[in-house]
Amino acid sequence: MSVISVGQAAVLGIVEGLTEFLPVSSTGHLKITEGLMGIPVDDTSVVGFTAVIQVGAIAAVLVYFFKDIARIVSAWGRGIVNREERHHHDYKFAWWVIAATLPIVAVGLVAKPLIEGPLASLWVVAGSLIAGSGVMWAADQTGRHKRGEDDTGFKDSMLVGSSQILALLFPGFSRSGATMSTALALDLDRLTATRLSFFLGIPALTGSGLYELKDAAGAGVGGAPLVVATAVSFVVAYASIAWLLKFVARHSFNAFVAYRIAVGVLLFGLLGSGVLTA
């Protein structure tokens, strides 16, 4: 019998789609939701399930930014065969995305036992939500928001891409929150920081989902829950992306900071009172 029902999968798909690209920690929200529904958050198949349904959200990014991605991939392909094409920013950016993904892949493979073990605790999620809020607030307040996409370089991509490691090791910190905060600290404007977070997340999240598929499907989670959650996450994530890009063009990240702190404090309370177990 599957440890996750189709109904629970649909709920988790909604949570994943809403939170994957908002800087509030999708992993944290999924673990909280799983805990409230009585799903064992440290079960190997559940951990795998969480990674796999991210592919639905990533598919939403691929569809939403299809023209941008096609342009970048096309420039990369032309540059491979034509030296004269290699001065274009899109060609360089494609290589930067590849290079910036390597650190998180290396850490993910080496630290897998810790990530799926002690660091999967809801106590870690609660602390990371609050700690990440402080980082985000400081980056948004001190960043000068003066650099656009055309101003990004290899150093920016590597620093922003590597910051995903924080979310990998400390669920609750938020991959989007870590990457956006790093980009803001590098003086990128909010819209550029958000778009860069999307592009740099595609390889890491897709790879993670495909890698974990065997555990999710083979150790307690049936195919139907996986399909339902992934499909739901795609639809909801697409809407979330459109909303977020409009929001950050006009607002600071303060609302996300306040929300994260509130959820972190609430989670500490639920754990301390025994309503949830870590």
What's the pLDDT at 18? 94
CB-CB contact of 37 with 4 (8 Å): no
DSSP state of 151: G
Instruction: Flag whether pLDDT at 47 surpasses 80.
Output: no
Instruction: List helix spans (H) across 38-88.
Output: 44-52, 54-64, 66-81
Task: For residue range 80-133, list pLDDT tens digits in order.
Answer: 999 998 999 999 999 999 999 999 999 988 988 888 788 888 899 999 999 999
Determine the Cα–Cα distance for residues 270 and 27; give it in Å rounded to an integer: 17
Q: Which amino acid is at 64?
A: Y
**In the chain, what are the helix, strand and coil shares in percent, each to the nearest 5?**
80, 0, 20
Instruction: Flag whether pLDDT at 225 surpasses 70.
Output: yes
The mean pLDDT of the chain is: 89
188 forms beta bridges with 147
Task: For residue range 262-274, list pLDDT tens digits in order.
Answer: 999 999 998 999 8
**CA-closest candidate to residue 12, choices 258, 262, 236:** 236
* Across 244-257, average pLDDT: 94
The H or E element that residue 35 is part of is helix 26-36
Instruction: Kindly report the backbone phi and psi dihedral angles of residue 131, in degrees, each rounded to the nearest multiple of 5, phi listed first.
Output: -60, -45
Instruction: Flag whether pLDDT at 68 surpasses 60.
Output: yes
Instruction: Flag whether pLDDT at 213 surpasses 70.
Output: no
Q: How confident is the model at residue 251 (pLDDT cuts 50, 70, 90)?
A: very high
CB-CB contact of 120 with 47 (8 Å): yes
The lowest-confidence range among 28-32, 165-169, 187-191, 250-254 is 28-32
Task: For residue range 146-198, list pLDDT tens digits in order.
Answer: 999 889 999 999 999 999 999 989 988 989 999 999 999 999 999 999 999 99
CA torsion sign, 67 to 163 to 145 to 262? Answer: positive
What's the pLDDT at 53? 85
Determine the Cα–Cα distance for residues 133 and 24; give it in Å rounded to an integer: 9
Task: For residue range 2-27, list pLDDT tens digits in order.
Answer: 678 899 999 999 999 999 899 998 87
Determine the Cα–Cα distance for residues 242 and 238; give it in Å rounded to an integer: 7
